[in-house]
Amino acid sequence: MKLSDIADNAGSRKKRMRVGRGIGSGKGKTSGRGGKGQTARSGVRIKGFEGGQMPMHRRLPKRGFNNIFRLDFAEINLDRLQDAIDSKLVDVSETVNAESLVKAGVLRRAKDGVRLLGRGEIKAKLTIEVHGASKSAIAAVEKAGGSVKILAPAKTEGEAA
């Protein structure tokens, strides 16, 4: 066998259709675009046009809004935190915060802050600094002998004080 003998399976690669190459090709003259008009031109399409009928996106009512001041928190549950402590990723003697969790690989990024949620249980006594925590999470940490400090989210420039 030679390198020149290697070939794809028959029919696995299809040649692209070359349009506008004469009437004998089957795709000559208008190149499969029909007659004249807007759709025969390049770069023009009527997106959402319904033949003069009021389009669906204009018939439906507008609803809701996007809050530009909304903060997106990275969430972590107690069971994930306990798993990280058990596998020696998080040091119990030091304060656990967003930076230490990202550095340990428990969180991918801190986003606008970290929020502690109460799924699972925690056995280790530790000090946690987070931007938010559920009541059940705070109760579980304090029951284990630890403490939770809630940090104020960092204010962006131009935000009301």
Q: Which tokens in the block code for residue 22?
A: 């004469």
Question: Per-residue pLDDT for the chain (161 aa), expressed as one digit of tens each?
Answer: 899 999 999 999 999 999 999 999 999 999 998 888 888 888 877 788 888 899 999 999 999 999 999 999 999 999 999 999 999 888 888 899 999 999 999 999 988 999 999 999 998 899 999 999 999 999 999 999 999 999 975 566 666 55
* pTM flag (> 0.75): no
Helix/strand/coil (H, E, C) string of 39-96? HHCCCCCCCCCECCECCHHHHCCCCCCCCCCCCCEEEEEHHHHHHHHHCCCCCCCCCE
Cα–Cα distance measured from residue 99 to residue 105, given in angstroms and rounded to the nearest whole number? 10
Q: Which residues contact 53 (CB under 8 A, 6 or more apart)?
A: none
How far from the centroid of its chain's Cα atoms is residue 150's Cα? 26
